[in-house]
């Protein structure tokens, strides 16, 4: 492995000082854990965890046509965003209705939206958006914000930790509703996350990130690696791009129908393909009844045919294995299915997800 070729976030040296185990995560040198993935997981459910998510890309789109552009570009409807700071989760589709990426859009004003896209897809996304910008003659300016670091502060104790680490943030943390953001000087603070807990995602200038991170730790925030980030998001029933959906899958077969707006007449990329397609599969939750661990790509046998696990893990909160699986329509929560694990067929139960929210098991 050529470490020199890996990209680094502004917190790279901080992670190394903390003794993190670093891994190549889609070309980025990122912390997978700082000791124990399980303790980190529990720290977020019971206290407050800090995540360096600076590998994700904030992207500012400016210009008079920005709303019109996004109406056509993404599957969810940006007209739901009318108050400055309001956020929307959406898929960006290709013409075939496959998912190019999932992203968050923040409405700032009629000339400015901020998007946050996945790390592994950032370059592809940017190229696609620039092409659409040109093809549709929108005349917008797209600015990748690699000058910003992004830190997620998550858990029941997140508000207290952020208040203590950042004097003056109180008026924001006490009033900011979920899925809203506010600017504070050069900082951008959103009440969003990927854990199923209350919390914030803060964008700060790259050079202040190490100092901010230390202040958050002094206030009681625990550093959390990408390992626990994955078990937390899976318990929270949140999709992971590249695993639960990609360019070859429909959002309607990926548990994302709620993010696709087909009610309005709006013409967006991928709409015609989605409307012409027949939905035959669904994304369902599974809980393993036998002993073992569900993993992605394991085959699922149901009474309506085969399916496949898209994300699987051991749930530290539930102390049993859980998964998201793409299975045939018509299989309902409560039914038993069989999962092929190595040479065995193990029993699993279909459940409605999320599995865990705000520290509580929902299954």
- Residues within the interface to another protein (CB under 8 A): 32-33, 36-38, 41, 227, 231, 291-293, 295, 313-314, 316, 321, 342
| Minimum CB distance to another protein, residue 15 (Å) | 16
- In angstroms, rounded to a whole number, what is the distance separating the alpha carbons of residues 227 and 237? 16
- What is the closest distance, in whole angstroms, from the C-beta atom of residue 294 to another protein in the complex? 10
Tokens of 75: 């599957």
Minimum distance, C-beta of residue 341 to another protein, in the bound complex (Å): 9
**Whose Cβ is closer to another protein: residue 229's or residue 281's?**
229
Distance CA(74)–CA(256), nearest Å, equals: 13
Instruction: Please answer whether residues 142 and 3 qualify as being in contact, where contact means their C-beta atoms are separated by less than 8 angstroms.
Output: no
Closest to another protein by CB, 6 vs 215, is 6
Minimum separation from the CB atom of position 59 to another protein (A): 31
Nearest distance from C-beta of residue 225 to another protein, angstroms: 10
- Smallest distance from the beta carbon of 42 to another protein, in angstroms? 11
Give the residue with the Cβ less far from another protein, 34 or 69.
Answer: 34
In the complex, minimum distance from the CB of residue 242 to another protein, in angstroms, rounded to a whole number:
17
Q: Which of 148/341 has CB closer to another protein?
A: 341
Q: Which is nearer to another protein, 223 or 270 (CB)?
A: 223
Answer whether 300's CB lies under 8 Å from 286's CB.
Answer: yes
In the bound state with another protein, the residue whose beta carbon lies nearer, of 30 and 189, is 30
Nearer residue to another protein within complex by CB, 200 or 355: 355
């Amino acid at each position: 492995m050529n470490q020199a070729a890996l990209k680094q976030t502004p917190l790279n040296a901080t992670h190394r000082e903390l003794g993190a185990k670093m891994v190549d995560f889609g070309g980025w040198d990122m912390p997978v854990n700082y000791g124990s993935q399980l303790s980190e997981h529990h720290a977020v459910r019971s206290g407050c965890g800090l995540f360096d998510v600076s590998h994700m890309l904030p992207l500012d789109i400016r210009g008079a046509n920005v709303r019109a552009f996004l109406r056509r570009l993404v599957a969810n409807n940006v007209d739901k965003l009318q108050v400055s700071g309001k956020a929307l989760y959406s898929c960006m589709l290709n013409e075939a209705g496959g998912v190019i990426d999932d992203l968050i859009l923040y409405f700032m004003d009629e000339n400015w939206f901020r998007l946050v896209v996945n790390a592994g897809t950032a370059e592809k996304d940017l190229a696609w958006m620039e092409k659409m910008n040109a093809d549709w003659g929108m005349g917008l300016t797209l600015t990748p914000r690699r000058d910003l670091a992004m830190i997620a502060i998550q858990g029941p104790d997140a508000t207290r930790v952020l208040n203590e680490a950042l004097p003056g943030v109180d008026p924001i943390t006490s009033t900011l509703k979920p899925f809203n953001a506010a600017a504070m000087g050069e900082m951008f603070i959103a009440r969003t996350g990927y854990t199923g807990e209350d919390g914030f995602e803060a964008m700060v200038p790259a050079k202040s990130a190490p100092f901010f991170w230390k202040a958050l730790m002094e206030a009681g925030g625990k550093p959390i690696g990408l390992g626990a980030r994955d078990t937390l998001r899976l318990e929270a029933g949140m999709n992971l791009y590249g695993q639960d959906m990609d360019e070859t899958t429909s959002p309607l077969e990926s548990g994302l129908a709620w993010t696709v707006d087909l009610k309005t007449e709006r013409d967006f990329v991928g709409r015609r393909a989605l409307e012409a397609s027949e939905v035959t599969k669904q994304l369902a939750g599974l809980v393993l009844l036998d002993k073992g661990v569900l993993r992605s790509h394991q085959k699922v046998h149901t009474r309506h045919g085969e399916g496949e696990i898209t994300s699987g893990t051991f749930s530290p909160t539930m102390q049993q294995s859980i998964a998201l699986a793409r299975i045939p329509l018509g299989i309902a929560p409560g039914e038993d299915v069989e999962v092929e694990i190595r040479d065995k067929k193990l029993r699993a139960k279909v459940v409605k997800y999320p599995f865990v929210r705000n520290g509580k098991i929902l299954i």
